[in-house]
Amino acid sequence: MSELELPRARYLPWQQLQKERLQQQITANRLPHALLFSGIKDIGKKDFAFAFGAQLLCTRPGGGSACNQCSSCHLLNASTHPDLRLVRPEESKLIVIEQIRDLTEWVVQTAQQGGCKVCILFPAEQMNVQSANALLKCLEEPGPDTFFILVTDQPGRLLPTVRSRCQRVEFQVPHEEEAIPWLQSCSDSDVDISLLLALAAGAPMKVVKQFDGDYLNRRARIMGATDGLIQGKVTAVAAAASLLSKEYPVEIYDVLYGLFSDALKLTLSSSNNTLINKDMESFINVISNKFSCTAMLLVIDCVNMCRRAVTGSSNPNPTLLLESLLIKLDELASSEGSNNRV
Ligand SMILES: [Zn+2]
């Protein structure tokens, strides 16, 4: 896929409903001061938040969008609009209280461009309790014409008191008929977009952000090394060395999760209709024949644990983490056989 910088201020084709509902609230002068945009990761919530923020700040919005020509829009495009505040994790993976204290000071200031002020905060679930409590004060006493847009993939991790002060706007996974043409319009190569969208669990922005032109090759290498490992042709340490990637630390875990989940589905249903990795069906058959359901579930659990460790705040040693997973996989492959399946 072509490289796109995200987030961008844009409404995506599958976000019409949300756009129209908010538009009606603006027209009726009933837009609440705090909005919570929620839905699974990578379906364009942040793009929507930026587009909506731009529209609120624009001095000549028309047709339900920012004009892209006024001084406010120029400031936004140059990322120098004084009345737009972004709050997101900086040095740590958390939104810390100092950031919310800064925000509190900004909230009480008068808008410099004479319009409203907009704060976009994401991922909102990365606030710790202290910062969430500090934010509550802002939400309880918003300055005039100040709008907060919180964006989250995990609304359940927000403080209930924060959630209850926001109007929730729910975003759904787009239908293929909407996502595929849009992805085709962003793509400059002949990749199988339908396969990539399935691998991304329907999340188009994941396809754009993570599945670059080499993704399917990297995925094939992961499959090849895993195959070598479970067939006893390479050691776990060698496989880990060949697969460890600083640039794409999570990819190995996502690919393994997908392959083992498919193999489990195949074993349980004896049907290939629901496979996501349709192009790797023969390898999925190998896994399904080699491992019992219990063993596959164990692998999926371990993969999830590793993924959480890599994306969490504990900064584990990536080599040891991957080696330990592959050693476990190797042990299970050696101890399992097609005769002892559950
Ligand atoms: Zn404008």
Domain end: 175, 202, 227, which one?
Answer: 175
Q: How far is the CA of 239 from the centre of ligand 1 (A)?
A: 53
Give the separation between CA 301 and CA 278, rounded to whole angstroms: 22
Phi, psi of 38 (to 5 degrees): -130, 160
- Cα 66 to ligand 1 centre (Å): 5
Comparing 1-15, 88-102, 208-222, 251-265, which segment has the lowest mean pLDDT? Answer: 1-15
- Edge to edge, the sheet with strand 117-121 lists 84-87, 117-121, 146-152, 34-38, 167-170
Check pLDDT > 50 for residue 283: yes
Q: Which of 150, 175, 200 is the last residue of a domain?
A: 175
Burial of 338 (0-12, 13-18, 19+ CB in 10 A): exposed
Contact present, 65 and 182 (Cβ < 8 Å): no
**For 13, which DSSP code?**
G
Decide if pLDDT at 5 tops 60.
Answer: no
Measured in angstroms, how far is the CA atom of residue 218 from the centroid of ligand 1? 42
Q: What is the mean pLDDT of residues 310-317?
A: 86
Q: How far is the CA of 157 from the centre of ligand 1 (A)?
A: 35
Domain match, 219 and 156 both: no
pLDDT, position 337: 57
Higher pLDDT, 225 or 214: 225
Q: Given this model, what pLDDT does residue 1 score?
A: 43
CA of 244 to the centre of ligand 1 (A): 46
Q: What is the pLDDT of residues 49-104, one digit of tens each?
A: 999 999 999 999 988 899 999 999 999 999 999 999 999 998 778 999 999 999 99
The mean per-residue pLDDT over the stretch 283-309 comes to: 96
Same domain, 166 and 37: yes
Q: Answer yes or no: is pLDDT of 325 > 70.
A: yes
Choosing from 148, 175, 202, the residue where a domain stops is 175
- The dihedral sign for the CA sequence 81, 83, 84, 86: positive
Please tell me the distance between residue 63's alpha carbon and the centre of ligand 1 in angstroms.
Answer: 12
Over range 307-323, report the average pLDDT.
90
Tell me how long the chain is: 342
**C-alpha 125 to ligand 1 mean position (Å):** 31
Task: State whether 144 and 88 are in the same domain.
Answer: yes
Q: What is the mean pLDDT of the chain?
A: 91
Domain assignment present for residue 102? The answer is yes
Judge if 121 and 270 occupy the same domain.
no
Interval between CA 62 and ligand 1 midpoint (Å): 9
Say if residue 222 is in the same domain as residue 326. yes
Is the residue at 34 inside a domain? yes
Please report the pLDDT score of residue 188 as a whole number: 75
What's the gap in Å between 68 CA and the centre of ligand 1?
5
For a pLDDT cut of 90, what percent of the chain falls above it? 80
* Predicted structure pTM score: 0.83
Rounded distance from Cα 7 to ligand 1 centre (Å): 18
DSSP letter for 62, please. Answer: B
Q: Is residue 280 located within the same domain as residue 164?
A: no
pLDDT attached to residue 315: 84
For 172-220, the DSSP string reads: -PPPHHHHHHHHHHH--S---HHHHHHHTTT-HHHHHHH--TTHHHHHH
Distance 173 CA to ligand 1 centre (A): 29
Query: Could you give the C-alpha distances from 259 to 120, 150, 255, in angstroms and in order?
Result: 36, 34, 6
Q: What is the total count of domains within the chain?
A: 2
Res 264 pLDDT > 90 = yes
Confidence of residue 154 (pLDDT cuts 50, 70, 90): very high
Inside any domain, residue 204: no
Shared domain for 220 and 159, answered yes or no, is no
Q: Could you tell me the CATH number of the domain that includes residue 62?
A: 3.40.50.300
> How far, in Å, from the CA of 51 to the mean position of ligand 1?
11
Lowest mean pLDDT among 148-152, 184-188, 261-265: 184-188
CA of 119 to the centre of ligand 1 (A): 17
- The answer to the question of residue 2 being in a domain is no
341 pLDDT above the threshold of 50: no
166 and 220 co-located in one domain: no
Cα-to-centroid distance, 265 and ligand 1 (Å): 50
For residue 203, with 0-12 CB atoms within 10 Å meaning exposed, 13-18 middle and 19 or more buried, which class applies?
buried
Confirm whether 159 is domain-assigned.
yes
Tell me how far apart the alpha carbons of residues 235 and 130 are, in angstroms, rounded to a whole number: 46
- The reply to whether 72 and 170 lie within a common domain is yes
83 lies in a domain? yes
Q: Are residues 126 and 32 in the same domain?
A: yes
Ligand 1 centroid to residue 82 C-alpha, Å: 15
Q: How far apart are CA 158 and CA 171, in angstroms?
A: 17
Q: What is the average pLDDT across 5-20?
A: 86
Domain annotation covers residue 207: no
Residue identified by tokens 């692998």 is 299
Q: At 114, is the pLDDT very low, low, confident or very high (cuts 50, 70, 90)? A: confident
pLDDT, mean of residues 280-294 = 96
CA distances from 49 to 72, 189, 213, 224 (A): 16, 29, 28, 40
Least-confidence region, from 1-5, 167-171, 188-192, 233-237: 1-5
Domain with 131, as residue range(s), is: 13-175
The answer to whether position 1 is within a domain reads no
User: Do 138 and 243 fall within a single domain?
Assistant: no
Domain CATH for 224: 1.20.272.10
Please choose, from the candidates 123, 44, 110, 52, the residue with its C-alpha nearest in 3D space to the C-alpha of residue 83: 110
Q: What is the pLDDT of residue 156?
A: 96
Is residue 73 domain-shared with residue 152, that is, in the same domain?
Answer: yes
